A and B are shown apart, each in its own frame.
Chain A
Amino acid sequence: MTPPDSAAPSATYIFDAARPDRQARALADLTLGLARWRLALRLAWLDIRNRYRGSVIGPFWLTLSTGVMLIGLGLLYSALFRLKLMEYLPHLAVSLVVWNLISAIVIEGTTSLTSAEAVIRQMQLPYTVHALRGVMRNAIVAAHNLPLILLVFLACGVTPGAEVLLVLPGLVILGLNAFAATLFLGMLCARFRDIGPIVGSLMQLSFFMTPVLWKPELLGHWQFLLPLNPFYAVLETLRGPLVEGGGHWSAWAAALLYTAVHLGVAVAFFVRFRGRVAFWV
């Protein structure tokens, strides 16, 4: 027999309904779940492998379709907006790749817990693992699009300066929001099954409301309203460092504020309702 593993979870489970100790349990869920990142990563790879099973180029289909979209939209919208293709294309490449990632995280976040129903009802596993799995899966998929950005930058002669290092805090902001959204939407949509479809149509609307296809400057003197859009703020913390010399300070401030609020709401909801998830899924 395998010797009991010291890394295995604590061997005593006590639950007293009179003292639910929600904060401690939620905290334990988060720390244990993050410690199990190897499991989450393995599950993320399995998701990708199963999604593209039998396909010859696998997730590179996404690269291909994003590439085709870039060429088509780049030609059309640079003409519509009367922008030079060489100036417009780097903006579009970064925006589209980041937007696809944000959109996939939000939409797949709605099923992060319901799709793991069988496991949730079988064993005591931190729910954090399921959220982490969704975030990692989408991060891996999005990484397949990175060559496109590189290619466009080379073709258009874009060479970002030292401000490119700001991409790192931008990625941290995106990662925190991705985790919060996956956990929060996963729970909310397990409880209220109508929210999933609503989120889908909201994301479609947001695609047009957010400067993905269009450049923020095109708004003219209405530009000051942009930081009200959380998607813009998060998108700008990545696009800014890459193509706009760092991004506007208002976007960074808004992104930090939204991230704090987003995390706060997600964690508060998690602490309060974690114990009900098994009944919801």
Chain B
Amino acid sequence: MALIEAVGLTLEFPFYHLGARSLKKRLLGGARLHTDASNRVVVSALSDLHFRIGRGERVALVGPNGAGKTSLLRMLAGVYEPAAGRLRVEGQVGTLIDIAAGMDPESSGRENVLLRGLYRGLSAQACEALVAQVAGFAELGDFIDMPIRTYSAGMGVRLSFAIATAMQPEVLLMDEWFLAGDAAFMERADERLSSLVGGADILVLATHDMAAVRRWCNRVLRVEGGRIMADGPVEDVLASMT
């Protein structure tokens, strides 16, 4: 049963590697910077988010650069602990946030799939099954046995996407880099995403590409300055933005 529930969710980034004292004086006028309980300068990346995403929902996170889209994805993935509020994520989480993370450029595609299987805690048998599946979807041909540093950008995207979706996450958190695939790949990605969501799962996609939003999503969360400015069906929210 896939579910994401956020109640008053707040994320704060502490500033560590800057001269906090002088910075404080200069910046504290700004809306998103303040000092926290232990007197550190922090930037409010996300403040007081309330939302609930249920099964079958494909949510697009839209908003300008720096709005907090990727930070929200990372918090949903359990990477960043919220400074306040409550977060509940039910279901196996799959993340596609940074394409190169957890990949070893010197290893072959096949070895990287095995490695990702290990990262997910799969058994040796499940890892082997994963390789067969990923090789089928990513269409890398003989390149599956070449070091992935020799891959083109598109091939890297296909491999990462195939791995992340083959593990059949119930909650898929995705940043928009996978849009770098070619037209043929996009069609297959479309199929794969549809079948994922058909399996009563959740997709959260951070993107600037409104065509992708219309194509894959049925709900939009518009984030700006770390707050949710709009939440609703795709056309309603997109219409309000223009």
Of A14, A36, A50, A191, chain B has the most CB atoms within 10 Å of the CB of A14
Say whether B92 faces chain A, with CB atoms less than 8 Å apart.
yes
Chain A residues lying within 8 Å of B29, measured Cβ to Cβ, are none
- Interface footprint category on A: 35 or more
The answer on a CB contact under 8 Å between A1 and B118 is: no
Say whether A65 faces chain B, with CB atoms less than 8 Å apart.
no
Q: Which of A1-16 contact B (CB under 8 A)?
A: 1-5, 7-9, 11-16
**Segment at the interface with B among A117-125, A144-152, A211-219, A223-231:** A117-125
The answer on a CB contact under 8 Å between B77 and A11 is: no
The answer on a CB contact under 8 Å between B118 and A42 is: yes
Q: Which of A191-209 contact B (CB under 8 A)?
A: 191, 193
The answer on a CB contact under 8 Å between B78 and A17 is: no
Chain B residues lying within 8 Å of A75, measured Cβ to Cβ, are none
Say whether A20 faces chain B, with CB atoms less than 8 Å apart.
yes
Chain B residues lying within 8 Å of A50, measured Cβ to Cβ, are 104, 106
- Knowing A2-B166, A5-B121, A49-B106, the reply to whether A122 touches B90 (Cβ < 8 A) is no
- Knowing A14-B87, A15-B87, the reply to whether A5 touches B123 (Cβ < 8 A) is yes
The answer on a CB contact under 8 Å between A5 and B101 is: no
**Segment at the interface with A among B12-20, B222-230, B233-241:** B12-20
Say whether A248 faces chain B, with CB atoms less than 8 Å apart.
no
Bitwise, A72-113 to B at CB < 8 A (1) or not (0) is 000000000000000000000000000000000000000000
The answer on a CB contact under 8 Å between B81 and A12 is: no
Number of A-B contacts (CB under 8 A): 129
**Segment at the interface with A among B50-58, B59-67, B125-133, B176-184:** B125-133
Chain A residues lying within 8 Å of B86, measured Cβ to Cβ, are 14-18
The answer on a CB contact under 8 Å between A46 and B16 is: no
Say whether B200 faces chain A, with CB atoms less than 8 Å apart.
no
Say whether B167 faces chain A, with CB atoms less than 8 Å apart.
yes
- Knowing A39-B119, A42-B118, the reply to whether A4 touches B82 (Cβ < 8 A) is no
- Knowing A11-B170, A46-B104, A122-B101, the reply to whether A5 touches B126 (Cβ < 8 A) is yes
Chain A residues lying within 8 Å of B126, measured Cβ to Cβ, are 2-3, 5
Q: Tell me the nearest residue of chain A to B94, going by C-beta.
A: A123
Which among A18, A42, A118, A191 is the interface contact of B115 at CB below 8 angstroms? A42
Extra contacts, 4 of them, besides A17-B83, A18-B84 (Cβ < 8 A), are: A1-B166, A17-B81, A121-B74, A123-B119
Question: B residues within 8 Å of A by Cβ?
Answer: 10, 13-14, 16-17, 74, 77-93, 95, 97-98, 100-102, 104, 106-107, 115, 118-123, 126, 129-130, 133, 166-168, 170
Instruction: List 13 A-B pairs, Cβ < 8 Å.
Output: A1-B168, A2-B133, A5-B126, A8-B120, A12-B88, A15-B86, A15-B88, A16-B87, A17-B83, A17-B86, A42-B118, A118-B98, A119-B119
